[in-house]
Structure 1
């Protein structure tokens, strides 16, 4: 019986960032992954929510001659959905607090600290204010090891020379 496959680097990063944000803001806000069906999303929290999504990756050139060994610059997009724009419970205040929480944090498998790269107003609809915050971290993309020759039969036995 086999279990679930191990989580990928990107899934682990999203889990770690969600945990960090929940530890800091979980008593004040909802923190969750971006919904599979954004059009059907409903904010059930009285104040607001932080929604995490993988944005994109860009890759540097190979840093080794005999294998692929690349810097991977990862962008994670936070979408803030709030009922209030200004004041202590408003999205503007939380933009600053979230930026402070994540700036300088080292995510698992990353060799550079998290840094903010962009913030923008997304829109206001049905009394909800939406802003986006993009954060970048850097990890390393390494090619998986490949066997150098043909696979050996599983029942192969080696004998000492006479």
Structure 2
């Protein structure tokens, strides 16, 4: 049996995005992680759904010389899947509302609030409209430090310099 492991930073952030959107759009929409097999995804909600996925990260240079300590600029991709495009229950209305919900929100483990970076029309298939929204935030990537190899320091001797 495999022991339970803690969720990774990215998994925790995905869960936080889903929770934030579920809290804001509780009964209005379905909010879930992007499906493993999008080709067979079926919109079951009467109005629409927001599907959350991790997009990518870019990394800054290390801020320390003796270890790795760097900015991790993360992008999350939201796909809005709706039965209509216009009106209060339409994709464009909810695109604005989802963007407003996330803009300025600071997810856990992040040192920068969310900001939208792109919106785009994906397409329409069999009466279902899709739009994409990219949202960026920043966190820190730290080196995992374990015990160092070699002998342990057992005694320290200090000398004064003239």
Whether TM exceeds 0.5 here: the answer is yes
Q: Secondary structure at the match of 1:117?
A: strand
Query: Pairwise mapping of residues 12-161 of structure 1 onto structure 2 (< 5 A)?
Result: 12-150=12-150
Q: Secondary structure at the match of 1:53?
A: strand
Q: Secondary structure at the match of 1:121?
A: strand
Q: Secondary structure at the match of 1:4?
A: coil
Runs of 4+ in 1 over 4 A off after TM superposition: none
- Quote the Cα distance in structure 2 between the aligned partners of 1:59 and 1:20: 25
Q: Secondary structure at the match of 1:99?
A: helix
The residue number in structure 2 matching 1:160 is: none
- Quote the Cα distance in structure 2 between the aligned partners of 1:91 and 1:151: 63
Once the two structures are superposed, residues 103-124 of structure 1 have per-residue CA deviations (whole angstroms, 9 ceiling, x without a partner) of: 0001000000011000000000
Deviation, 1:149, is 2.4
Report how many residues are paired.
Answer: 152
- Quote the Cα distance in structure 2 between the aligned partners of 1:130 and 1:15: 22
Gaps of 5+ in 1: 153-162
Q: Secondary structure at the match of 1:78?
A: strand
Deviation, 1:3, is 3.7
- Quote the Cα distance in structure 2 between the aligned partners of 1:100 and 1:141: 28
- Quote the Cα distance in structure 2 between the aligned partners of 1:6 and 1:103: 28
Deviation, 1:2, is 6.3
- Quote the Cα distance in structure 1 between the aligned partners of 2:130 and 2:139: 29
TM-score, normalised to structure 2's length?
A: 0.90
